[in-house]
């Protein structure tokens, strides 16, 4: 019978195998250690900053508004008749007193002639009555005629005198009605198209609208601040005459943005109960008449530049549950979050009093989405080109310029 005995390793062989395994693991560990990349420090984030300065910043309150003609006159037929003539072209610029329309005059000429004829008849009757009075005064004085007859002739003379006054009034009225057959422009301005053609009956039982004339130089822009804004304006305004300007921001790129300066000339005396706003108006020149009534505009009203404030561009402000904040660069060139309390905001800048944000702080204005507290940054100062003073200059927010 053949027996099979299990193989067994000698102690030398077991020792050699163990050393081989240890050497293999050591080599593997060394290889893995060499392949791991060394940790690199994150380079500072390049950012632009503006340095905060405490100064008197001009405050402009922006609103949307709509232009309206400074005078808009409806030209109507004041007498009835057939329209015979039109003396202007549609859309023509006309002068006050210029002839626009002619209405048939035949009936009004005849009416005037009738009243003039009646006046002549009454004048003749008055002369006869006055002659009778003179004769009977002598006869009655000598007792040759009764006093009652004299008094009768005196009454007739007075009645004819009253008739003459009535005739003068009717003649004046007839002349006035005749003058209404020539329709003239009540103001300087641009006429709309004619609304009635030649040959149509106008003014019959109504004052027919013939055309409309708009005076657009100067032009008005109406806007409606809230009651709270109105009270703020009244509280902080630094002059009786408030400068303002109107912006026309055309969406079409081929048209330039137009800005016109004017003044606030009207504020209503009643709050609109539906909107809690108060109507106000800016008057501004429109010499070339390039701005039309009914145009939507931006109205900016200058309030004051007497209050010392600090300001930042609106696009650098963030907001979370704790409030609004900006990022500044601290003395260690680290980005830090600073919470702010704005007192006034416009589309150009946000103003606040010196509080958590103070003069000399460097506010970060770009790369904002990559910022976080304690992030290392390298700052480039852009105050001269992108600071508040630069914004004021770029957008013509100088109140002295507005008053020119």
Question: Which pLDDT tens digit goes with each residue over 250-262?
Answer: 554 445 557 889 9
Q: Would residue 374 count as lying in a domain?
A: yes
One domain for residues 168 and 157: yes
- Let me know if 251 is exposed, middle or buried by CB neighbors in 10 A (0-12, 13-18, 19+): exposed
- Residues comprising the chain, all counted: 404
One domain for residues 175 and 237: no
Q: Is the peptide bond before 218 cis (omega within 30 degrees of 0)?
A: yes
One domain for residues 251 and 332: no
One domain for residues 136 and 153: yes
Tell me what pLDDT residue 16 has. 52
Listed residues 272, 288, 304: the one ending a domain: 304
Show the low-confidence residues of the chain (pLDDT under 50). Answer: 1-9, 12, 27, 33, 252-254, 402
Q: Would residue 224 count as lying in a domain?
A: yes
Listed residues 257, 284, 304: the one ending a domain: 304
Listed residues 273, 304, 335: the one ending a domain: 304
Q: Are strands 45-51 and 375-381 parallel, antiparallel or unpaired?
A: parallel
> Half-sphere exposure of residue 395, counting CA atoms within 13 Å on the CB side?
21
Inter-axis angle of helices 147-179 and 106-142, nearest 10: 160
Tell me what pLDDT residue 45 has. 93
Residue 42 to residue 308: CA distance in whole angstroms: 40
Q: Which two tokens stand for residue 329?
A: 């660069």
pTM for this model (two decimals): 0.69
One domain for residues 198 and 322: no
Residue 124 to residue 340: CA distance in whole angstroms: 95
CATH code of 312's domain: 2.40.420.20
Among 253, 85, 261, residue whose Cα is nearest residue 184: 85
Contact 218, 70 (CB under 8 A): yes
Q: Would residue 329 count as lying in a domain?
A: yes
One domain for residues 94 and 194: yes
Tell me what pLDDT residue 7 has. 42
Identify any residues that bridge with 283 across adjacent strands, giving them in sequence order.
220, 263
Among 263, 284, 274, 291, residue whose Cα is nearest residue 224: 274
One domain for residues 226 and 281: yes
One domain for residues 197 and 326: no
The CB density around residue 189, as the number of other CB atoms within 10 Å, is 23
- Let me know if 289 is exposed, middle or buried by CB neighbors in 10 A (0-12, 13-18, 19+): middle
Tell me what pLDDT residue 327 has. 96
Q: Are strands 318-320 and 334-340 parallel, antiparallel or unpaired?
A: unpaired
Q: Would residue 125 count as lying in a domain?
A: yes
CATH code of 270's domain: 2.40.30.170
Per the structure, the complete domain to which residue 135 belongs is given by 106-179
Burial 353-366 (b: 16+ CB within 10 A, else e): eeeebeeebbbbbb
Q: Which two tokens stand for residue 327?
A: 């990022």
Phi, psi of 63 (to 5 degrees): -145, 160
One domain for residues 261 and 300: yes
Q: Would residue 32 count as lying in a domain?
A: no
Contact 84, 203 (CB under 8 A): no
H or E stretch covering 151: helix 147-179
CATH code of 153's domain: 1.10.287
Residue 315 DSSP code: G
One domain for residues 220 and 300: yes
Residue 155 DSSP code: H
The number of domains in the chain is: 4
Contact 102, 203 (CB under 8 A): no
One domain for residues 171 and 128: yes
Tell me what pLDDT residue 9 has. 46
Contact 311, 60 (CB under 8 A): no
Identify any residues that bridge with 189 across adjacent strands, giving them in sequence order.
94
Residue 387 to residue 307: CA distance in whole angstroms: 18
One domain for residues 78 and 206: yes
């Amino acid at each position: 019978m053949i027996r099979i005995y299990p193989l067994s390793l000698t102690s030398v062989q077991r020792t050699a195998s163990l050393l081989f395994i240890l050497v293999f693991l050591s080599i593997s560990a060394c290889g893995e250690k060499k392949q791991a990349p060394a940790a690199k420090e994150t380079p500072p984030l390049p950012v632009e900053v503006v340095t905060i300065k405490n100064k008197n910043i001009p405050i402009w309150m922006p609103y949307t508004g709509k232009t309206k003609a400074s005078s808009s006159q409806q030209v109507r037929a004041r007498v009835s008749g057939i329209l015979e003539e039109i003396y202007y072209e549609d859309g023509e610029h006309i002068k006050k007193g210029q002839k626009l329309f002619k209405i048939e005059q035949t009936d009004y000429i005849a009416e005037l002639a009738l009243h003039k004829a009646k006046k002549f008849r009454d004048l003749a009757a008055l002369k006869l009555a006055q002659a009778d009075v003179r004769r009977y005064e002598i006869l009655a004085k000598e007792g040759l005629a009764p006093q009652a007859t004299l008094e009768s002739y005196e009454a007739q003379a007075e009645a004819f005198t009253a008739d003459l006054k009535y005739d003068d009034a009717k003649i004046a009225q007839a002349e006035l009605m005749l003058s209404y057959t020539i329709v003239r422009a009540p103001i300087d301005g641009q006429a709309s198209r004619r609304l009635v053609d030649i040959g149509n009956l106008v003014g019959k039982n109504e004052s027919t609208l013939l055309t409309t004339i708009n005076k657009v130089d100067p032009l008005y822009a109406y806007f409606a601040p809230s009651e709270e804004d109105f009270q703020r304006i009244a509280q902080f305004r630094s002059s009786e005459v408030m400068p303002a300007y109107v912006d026309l921001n055309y969406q079409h790129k081929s048209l330039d943005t137009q800005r016109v300066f004017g003044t606030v000339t009207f504020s209503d005396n009643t709050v609109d109960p539906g909107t809690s706003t108060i109507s106000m108006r800016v008057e501004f020149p429109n010499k070339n008449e390039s701005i039309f009534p009914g145009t939507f505009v931006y109205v900016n009203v200058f309030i004051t530049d007497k209050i010392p404030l600090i300001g930042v561009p609106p696009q650098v402000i963030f907001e979370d549950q704790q409030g609004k904040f900006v990022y500044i660069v601290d003395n260690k060139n680290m980005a830090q979050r600073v919470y702010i309390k704005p007192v006034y905001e416009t589309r150009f800048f946000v103003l606040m009093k010196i509080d958590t944000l103070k003069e000399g702080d460097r506010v970060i204005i770009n790369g904002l989405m990559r910022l976080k507290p304690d992030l290392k940054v390298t700052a480039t100062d852009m105050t001269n080109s992108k600071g508040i003073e630069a914004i004021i200059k770029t957008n013509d927010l100088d109140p002295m310029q507005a008053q020119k």
